[in-house]
Amino acid sequence: MVTFLGLDPIGLLAVALLVAGVVGSLVPLAPGALLSLAGVYLFWWHTGFTDPGLLALAALTLVGVVTLLVDWFGGAIAASAGGASTLTSLLAGAVGVVLLFVAGPLGILIGVAGTVFVVEYVRGDDAEASARTALYATVGMLASNLVQAALTFGMLVGFLFVLIV
pLDDT at 137 over 90: no
Residue 15 CA to its chain's centroid (Å): 18
The 10s digit of each residue's pLDDT in 47-88 is 999 999 999 999 999 999 999 888 877 777 787 788 888 888
Distance CA 44, CA 108 (A): 36
Distance CA 95, CA 1 (A): 50
The 10s digit of each residue's pLDDT in 92-124 is 888 888 888 888 878 888 888 999 999 999 988
| Count of structural domains within the chain | 1
On whether residue 3 sits in a domain, the answer given is: no
pLDDT score of 49:
93
Supply the range of the domain harboring residue 118. Answer: 9-164
On whether residue 62 sits in a domain, the answer given is: yes
* Single pTM value for the model: 0.80
On whether residue 19 sits in a domain, the answer given is: yes
pLDDT score of 5:
65
Three-state DSSP at 127 gives helix
> How many other C-beta atoms are found inside a 10 Å radius of the C-beta of residue 164?
8
